[in-house]
Chain A
Amino acid sequence: MAFLIDLTKCIGCEACTLACKQENGLPPGATDKLSAVTWTVIERHGGVNVKRQCNHCVDPTCVSVCPVAALQKTSLEAVIYDESRCIGCRYCIMACPFSIPKYEWFSTEPRVRKCIHCFPRLERGEQPACTAACPTGAAKYGKREELIEEAKKRIAENPGRYIDHIYGLTEAGGTCALYLSAVPFAQLGFPTIRTDTTYPHLTWNVLRQLPSVVSVGGVGLAGLWWITHRRMELAEERAQQAAEKAENEKEESK
């Protein structure tokens, strides 16, 4: 499942922010930017209101980097977090190309915090709190394929209203938050990121070499040892023979 966020429809009322806070039991306030206590936010970019939250990538970077699989992609597309596993290495915060996960820096039992797509609601068959609260339909919930079709239709049917770019269609290999806008996304604080690959591939291409490195390396090193060891043996033998020979010759010459 996914979000379609039409920035031309957002009036910036922040109903989504509030609904999110209520649904997830987050303390009020601090609604100017994403933080550990604000999982969706309206950013103001020169008159354009930009709803931000976790993009729930199709192939999520955070899920791939987590050493203990605390972050998981569910069958409902939501990227969720199991705080009982998390060791706090903060690689997810480091790696996320959208800089979404936040940390409880001043806690002695800190957690990674981010939008979880209201996973408990999805499991009950409901839509996320933010889209349910949106009064203008700027944030819409639905199947990713259907929302992509709808986004394309909106662009085609409203000439001049949108730029021809669905942010999230190919960004980071595709995300479950699809954005429509009237101005280029780079002007709205959206990061310009790789569209030709998913991020997990960048490290997996190296990691998957591991078995070959171990096997080839192991055999190679053992082989090297055998060669050098044998050489030393032969050298010793030769030295011994030469010594014996020299002794024999000495005796013979006597």
Chain B
Amino acid sequence: MKRLAQIPRWWALTALILLVGAYAMWIRFTGGLGAASNLHDGFPWGFWVGIDVLVGVGLAAGGFTIAATVYVLNLKKYEPVSRPSLLTAFLGYLLVSAALVVDIGRPLRLYHPLIMWNPHSVMFEVAWCVTLYTTVLALEFSPLVFEKLGWHWPLRAIRAIYLPLVIAGVLLSTLHQSSLGTLFLIVPEKLHGLWYSPVLPAFFFVSAIAAGLSMSIVESFISSRVFSRRLEHDVLLGLARATVVILGIYVTWRFADLATRGALHLAFTFSQQSVLFWAEIGFGALLPLLLMLLSGDKIRERNLFFYALLVVAGFVLNRVNVSMTGMRNIETYFPKWTEVAITLVFVTLGVVLFGLAVRQFDVFAKSEYVEPGTTTRNGWFPKGSLIAVAGFFVALVLLVRAAPSRAELEARLKPAPAQLAMHVEPLGDPNENLPQDLTIPSGGNSPGKVVFSHANHIAMQEKVSCMECHERTFGMGFAHSPRLKGEQWHRACGTCHDGKKASSSVSDETGESCSTCHQSQ
């Protein structure tokens, strides 16, 4: 009964997120990217690329990692993890594709990279790999659907090609997980030195594996709560061990890379970026690594959940740093509510679809089923872990706000703006360089047309300077604007033609003749 009472609350939240998200989508597709985001020319990629695409694809890495473990390395004990991680990956990629529809300016042309090629583009490669891998994932997942429907021959066909399929999936994943890092190799000045590295593709690949494994651990705990399914301690321990090894390689490599690039000092210079770096590496990699190492085989499951959560958080922070907070101009960007709302829709859809799929298909093997009530320490909820991670992010935000920003630090190093006299050369033959005479459009009561000569006006000046009139009094398009009336011309010409500097533009005040400027017809 207690469980039932909780359901409407979750559904209400889901409905709210979807409604707000739908409104945000409406803004996006009727007002353009500018209306639905805070992106601008100085900061063209933001929340959707950073979170929806980079984090989404990365966290789905469990799919290919586990598939390789079970089908290539033949470690069958991990088979129970394979289907949930496959489902996560498949949904993840579907939602990444959906996010791309929102993020790219012309969504109806999403297919263009498939028919208009540029093999030199990383984005082109990513587009192809993601398309192919989503197809592979659909095929890898299809046996569950065929089982359910009782279709035998397609099931046999898929099983016959399952190994090549898994290998193709691993290769495609290797390519595009790393290529998401390669995307940023093109911005050596824009991306902060703590993250820009020639081996960024490798870092993206390795960190995605660590995050994918940790995500499998996190998911198994959530599943144990929600679906009364749980993994054996032995399997979890194996995943944790693999995470420790991969994370160890990753952290060592990151520091070695910083040292060889001579960028290690950046980590010890107090700045927003160094705070973020230590949050990412210290709390998101080193801390869980040490804790997992110290706990050894006797690790408690709820602790393991917390450590895996830290790794996932560190991973998210890494992708945020590379795509947003480590970028130049980050000071000019903060995601708009619409960006967050649309992302929330995708996350929510992912969770809902996962739940539906679990109810429809045999995602969890039968043997794992545990009677409700007997699961993981009755009523256990990872409140502590979630509070700790949330608190960590709040502290991080406060600390980052206290630190000097990248723009401030760079401004200190920037040379002062130039101050110098110009070496303007004489214009030479005015007739050669100057614009032709302009006939000023006449109004109805004009006493005659006025022809303006640049040459005459320059000949009458002591010092030749275009800026005497341009751009303050006469914009460069002034003479071409048909809407200007006679009085506006009189006022503008009158800036100089005031009767003192030059002949007056207003005849009745000084008795000057109209024919000074106006030619009689």
Contacts and interface: CB of A to CB of B under 8 A. Distances in A.
Interface in B427-478: 427, 433-435, 465-467, 470-471, 475-477
Given A11-B465, A136-B425, 8 more contacts: A15-B466, A31-B471, A45-B417, A88-B109, A193-B189, A194-B189, A206-B122, A206-B201
Contacts of B44: 90, 93-94, 103
Interface residues on B, range: 35 or more
Contact of A221 (B68, B104, B187, B190): B68
Given A67-B118, A210-B125, A28 B477 contact: yes
Interface residues of A, number: 85
Contacts of B116: 68-70, 85
B133 to A, nearest CB: 13
B188 A194 contact: yes
A192 B189 contact: yes
A218 to B, nearest CB: 6
29 contacts: A9-B425, A12-B466, A13-B466, A14-B471, A14-B476, A31-B471, A35-B41, A48-B418, A48-B422, A64-B121, A67-B121, A85-B109, A86-B106, A87-B106, A89-B103, A97-B189, A110-B105, A135-B434, A136-B427, A136-B433, A186-B414, A191-B189, A199-B186, A203-B182, A207-B120, A217-B174, A225-B74, A228-B72, A229-B74
Given A9-B424, A87-B110, A203-B182, A95 B175 contact: no
A203 B189 contact: no
Contacts of A45: 417-418
A231 B470 CA distance: 84
Contacts, number: 244
A86 B119 CA distance: 16
Contacts of B73: 224-225, 228
Interface in A1-48: 8-15, 17-18, 21-22, 28, 31, 35-36, 45-48
B144 interface: no
A184 B171 CA distance: 48
Nearest to A85: B116
Q: Across chains A and B, which 4 residue pairs bring their CB atoms closest together, nearest first?
A: A88-B105, A105-B34, A18-B476, A67-B123
Contact of A69 (B41, B75, B117, B182): B117
Contact of A47 (B40, B71, B414, B422): B422
B121 A66 contact: yes
Contact of B187 (A31, A85, A94, A206): A94
A202 B427 contact: no
Interface stretch (B25-33, B80-88, B346-354): B25-33
B40 A105 contact: yes
A187 interface: yes
Interface in A226-240: 228-229, 231-232
Contacts of B466: 11-13, 15, 135
B175 A214 contact: yes
A102 B189 contact: no
B425 A214 contact: no
